[in-house]
Every structure is written in structure tokens, then in C-alpha cells.
């Protein structure tokens, strides 16, 4: 989308081949519908908290078909917005699945099209583990279209998608288990975030099983774990990874080098091993986030059609996990910072947010700063709590600019907010 629009604005003749709905994973089976579901799941807790502020409500009742219908309507609206934006930009839309025949030829619906440049931006696809009965499970793609909510659900995985859907199911009243093969959740994030979010999610009712590997699924659905225990559930959802969507595109025959997982191998300017073929986004399996993909698209358009070779800086990219409570981070984890910089200073705080003081809820907000001891530059900022993504987005500007701890200390906070804690932490953690 972004690459096509910007390329067209720079004077390129652009055609876009699309066999499905516009907007990719994010709009159709990712960020947008997932966050709508996350909003829905959080209302149950909001209704409970409202009582402590004097509101008297009837017994809340949730209707899954209503949420599905409204979600589908919004997704369809966005599909139309994106298609219209391409059309206005002057791009030609080719409805069908494309196949690359050679470095300058693409076939769509039996018709051949020649191009000076070919861009592969086909994203990724959820994968199921190779265990007996895996066909009985669903992936995140299917979760957006369930005919009915299960009574008992098992979500398998320990990353973004697993935590988000475990929170969604739990918030909507589903008896939810989250099983992960690792020792802590959110591998790749700061270790303390993984440990603390597990505690918070358990406190909200999610049954979390760590170092748990599934051995098989049987109709019913009966789940057997490798260490022996069994579990009866109504739905199993695997969120155990995604694979670059390159199968059947003809890339290898055209000379494009693919990694072992099928990802297109590219240089800093998104060029593949074939000079005329480029790739961006999840299909390259670098940093699989929507804003990264769109930035790569803009950079490629500048590189090819504006004479401005532009590479995307993948460092200090902020990210959020929309589980309950939210997790967000920018920069280096404590572990990675120690590996790269040696001595670091750690500042952190954990507290019960003002909103929960009247209702007596146990949820705690957590914040952490990782600082280079030598230069005092803030290397990473990490948070668990309501709207963590909104808070970290602002903090990310400071981290990207190389702000020091003194800059944070000199910034006045907005009181009373949770975010102000990022500029009021003074004591180093021991």
C-alpha cells in the first residue's frame, strides 16, 4: 500500500496485484480487529471498577455476534478506504494472485505484465506445529471469525498474539489457559516484563502453564501434554509463529535467494539477490511490525523513484502488546544492554494506579528505564499498565533522539498520571 502510493506520487507507473482484501494482515486479521476485540474484552473490568466510583449498573451481558458484525463492518470500511487511496494515487489494481516469471515479468490470472521493478510484500501466514491432531486447532486468522465463543479455550504460545488472545478470551468470559514451552513469556522482551505480565494475567484469571509442550490433540478436544497431564477444552488456538508468505510465488525460479524459513533475503535498501526484485515487511522476517513495513515501503519508493537511497533504521522501534494489562517497550532490554554496554543503571517502579485505589483491585503498573552508566543515555524504556503503548510512543521520541537520564529528570511530569513516573524515578534499583 504505502510503497505503491508513494511510488505513484513520485511519477512511477504502478500496478498492485491483490488476491484478497486490501490492508494486509493488519487490517483484516491483525492489529485493527485484534485491538477492537481487546477493547471489548476490557469492558467487563471497567464495569466492575465503575461500581467503586458510584455507578450502579444492571448485570452486563455480552453478545459475540454483535461484536463480530461491527468488527466486520469496520474492516470492510477500511478495505474500501485503502482501495480508493490506491486508485486515487493512479495505481492499476490487478485482482488475482501474482506469480513472478522472471526478473521483469509477473503473471496474474494468465496475463503477463512487465515491470522495471517488482516488489514482494506478501506478508506472513500463521503456522501450525507438527503434532498429532493439530488440524483440530485454529490460528489467529480463524479467531476473528468464530461462529461462537468457546466455554473453555487453550491458547498456545508466549508472544504478542498468544498473550493478546488469552486476554481477549479471558476478558470475554471464556475459561482460558495459556500454555508456553518456555520458562517465561515474551521472549525477546526485557525478562522482567515477561515475569511480571504472567503474574498480572494470572491475577485476572488466566491459567498460565510455562514449560508446557503439547504432545497431541484428540477430538473432543482432549489435549495431552508431553509431561503427561491432559486437559479438556472446547477450542485450541496456536499462536506459535508465522512463516513468510513466499510459497508458490515463483521467486526461487526467478533467482531470488530465500532464507531457510522462506523469507526473502534483502539488503539495507530492500533489494533481493535479483537487482530488479525487492521485498519489504513480514515477508523479509526482519522486524515484523506494521509501522516498520510502511516505513520500508516509503523508503523503497524514495530509493527507486526519487533518487534518494534510503535505508530504514530498525533500532529503537517502539512496540506494544495489547494484552491485559498492556505491555510496551522501546530500545534495549536490561539483558541486551548489559551485553552491549557492560555497566548499566536500572531505574524502576511498580505501583497501583489511582483508578484502582477506590475499587481495591490488585493490578500494578510497572515501569523501567535502562541507562548506559558511562554516558547516562537512556537505552531502553519498558512498561506494563493501561495504555502502555500510548505512553511509550512519546518516550520513544526521547530514546530515538539519545536523551540522557538527566533530560528525563529535567522534564516535568503531568500529575496525576502514570506516565509522569518515567520522569520522577531517581533511585537506582539494587
Instruction: List pLDDT tens digits, range 238-281.
Output: 999 999 999 999 999 999 999 999 999 999 999 999 999 999 99
Domains 2-124+243-305 and 134-240 share a fold: yes
Q: If DSSP codes are grouped into helix, strand and coil, which group holds residue 152? A: strand
Q: How confident is the model at residue 430 (pLDDT cuts 50, 70, 90)?
A: confident
Average pLDDT of the chain to the nearest whole number = 97
- Rounded to an integer, the average pLDDT of 227-239 is 96
In angstroms, rounded to a whole number, what is the distance separating the alpha carbons of residues 430 and 407?
Answer: 22
CA 52 to chain CA centroid, nearest Å: 33
Place of cell 489435549: 223
In angstroms, rounded to a whole number, what is the distance separating the alpha carbons of residues 153 and 313?
Answer: 39
- Rounded to an integer, the average pLDDT of 191-202 is 98
Q: What's the pLDDT score for residue 360?
A: 82
Q: What's the pLDDT score for residue 57?
A: 83
Question: pLDDT tens digits, residue range 152-187?
Answer: 999 999 999 999 999 999 999 999 999 999 999 999
Q: If DSSP codes are grouped into helix, strand and coil, which group holds residue 294? A: helix
Q: What's the pLDDT score for residue 180?
A: 98
Question: pLDDT tens digits, residue range 364-422?
Answer: 999 999 999 999 999 999 999 999 999 999 999 999 999 999 999 999 999 999 999 99
The superfamily CATH assigns to domain 134-240 is FAD/NAD(P)-binding domain (3.50.50.60)
Question: How is the chain split into domains, by residue range?
Answer: 2-124+243-305, 134-240, 325-423
Residue 84 is placed in which grid cell? 480508493
Question: pLDDT tens digits, residue range 70-125?
Answer: 999 999 999 999 999 999 999 999 999 999 999 999 999 999 999 999 999 999 99
Of 260, 263, 279, 283, residue with least CA distance to 271: 279
pTM: 0.96
The fraction of the chain above a pLDDT of 70, given in percent, is: 100
Question: pLDDT tens digits, residue range 312-354?
Answer: 999 999 999 999 999 999 999 999 999 999 999 999 999 999 9
CATH 3.50.50.60 corresponds to the domain 2-124+243-305: yes
In angstroms, rounded to a whole number, what is the distance separating the alpha carbons of residues 36 and 74?
Answer: 10
How many other CB atoms sit within 10 Å of the CB of residue 228? 7
CATH 3.20.20.80 corresponds to the domain 325-423: no
What kind and span of H or E run contains 165? Answer: helix 160-171
Q: Which of 27-41, 196-210, 355-369 has the lowest mean pLDDT?
A: 355-369
Q: If DSSP codes are grouped into helix, strand and coil, which group holds residue 130? A: coil
Catalytic residues: 415
What kind and span of H or E run contains 337? Answer: helix 334-341
- Rounded to an integer, the average pLDDT of 53-74 is 95
Amino acid at each position: 500500500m504505502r510503497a505503491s502510493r508513494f511510488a505513484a506520487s513520485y511519477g512511477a507507473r504502478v500496478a498492485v496485484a491483490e488476491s484478497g482484501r486490501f490492508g494486509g494482515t493488519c487490517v483484516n486479521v491483525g492489529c485493527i480487529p485484534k485491538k477492537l476485540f481487546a477493547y471489548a474484552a476490557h469492558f467487563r473490568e471497567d464495569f466492575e471498577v465503575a461500581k467503586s466510583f458510584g455507578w450502579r449498573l444492571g448485570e452486563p451481558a455480552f453478545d459475540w455476534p454483535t461484536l463480530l458484525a461491527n468488527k466486520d463492518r469496520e474492516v470492510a470500511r477500511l478495505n474500501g478506504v485503502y482501495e480508493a487511496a490506491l486508485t486515487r494515487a493512479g495505481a492499476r489494481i490487478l485482482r488475482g494472485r501474482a506469480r513472478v516469471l522472471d526478473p521483469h515479468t509477473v503473471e496474474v490470472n494468465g496475463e503477463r505484465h512487465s515491470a522495471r521493478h517488482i516488489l514482494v510484500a506478501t506478508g506472513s501466514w500463521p503456522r501450525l506445529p507438527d503434532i498429532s491432531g493439530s488440524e483440530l486447532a485454529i490460528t489467529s486468522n480463524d479467531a476473528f471469525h468464530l461462529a461462537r465463543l468457546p466455554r473453555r479455550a487453550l491458547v498456545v504460545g508466549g508472544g504478542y498474539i498468544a498473550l493478546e488472545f488469552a486476554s481477549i478470551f479471558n476478558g470475554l468470559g471464556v475459561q482460558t489457559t495459556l500454555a508456553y514451552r518456555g520458562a517465561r513469556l515474551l521472549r525477546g522482551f526485557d525478562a522482567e516484563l515477561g515475569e511480571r505480565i504472567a503474574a498480572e494475567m494470572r491475577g485476572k484469571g488466566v491459567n498460565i502453564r510455562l514449560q508446557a509442550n503439547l504432545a497431541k490433540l484428540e477430538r473432543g478436544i482432549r489435549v495431552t501434554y508431553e509431561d503427561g497431564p491432559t486437559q479438556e477444552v472446547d477450542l485450541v488456538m496456536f499462536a506459535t509463529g508465522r512463516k513468510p508468505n513466499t510459497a508458490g510465488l515463483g521467486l526461487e525460479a526467478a533467482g531470488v535467494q530465500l532464507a531457510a524459513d522462506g523469507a526473502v533475503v534483502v539488503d539495507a535498501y530492500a533489494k533481493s539477490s535479483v537487482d530488479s526484485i525487492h521485498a519489504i515487511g513480514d515477508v523479509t522476517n526482519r522486524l515484523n511490525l506494521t509501522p516498520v513495513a510502511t516505513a520500508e515501503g516509503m523508503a523503497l519508493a524514495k530509493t527507486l523513484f526519487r533518487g534518494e537511497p534510503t535505508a530504514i533504521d530498525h533500532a529503537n522501534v517502539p512496540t506494544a502488546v495489547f494484552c491485559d494489562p498492556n505491555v510496551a517497550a522501546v530500545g534495549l532490554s536490561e539483558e541486551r544492554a548489559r551485553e552491549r554496554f557492560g555497566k548499566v543503571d536500572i531505574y524502576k517502579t511498580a505501583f497501583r494506579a489511582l483508578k484502582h485505589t477506590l475499587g481495591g483491585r490488585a493490578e500494578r503498573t510497572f515501569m523501567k528505564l535502562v541507562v548506559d552508566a558511562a554516558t547516562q543515555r537512556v537505552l531502553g524504556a519498558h512498561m506494563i499498565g493501561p495504555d502502555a503503548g500510548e505512553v511509550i510512543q512519546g518516550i520513544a521520541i526521547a530514546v530515538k533522539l539519545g536523551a540522557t537520564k538527566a533530560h528525563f529528570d529535567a522534564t516535568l511530569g503531568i500529575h496525576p498520571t502514570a506516565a509522569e513516573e518515567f520522569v520522577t524515578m531517581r533511585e537506582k534499583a539494587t
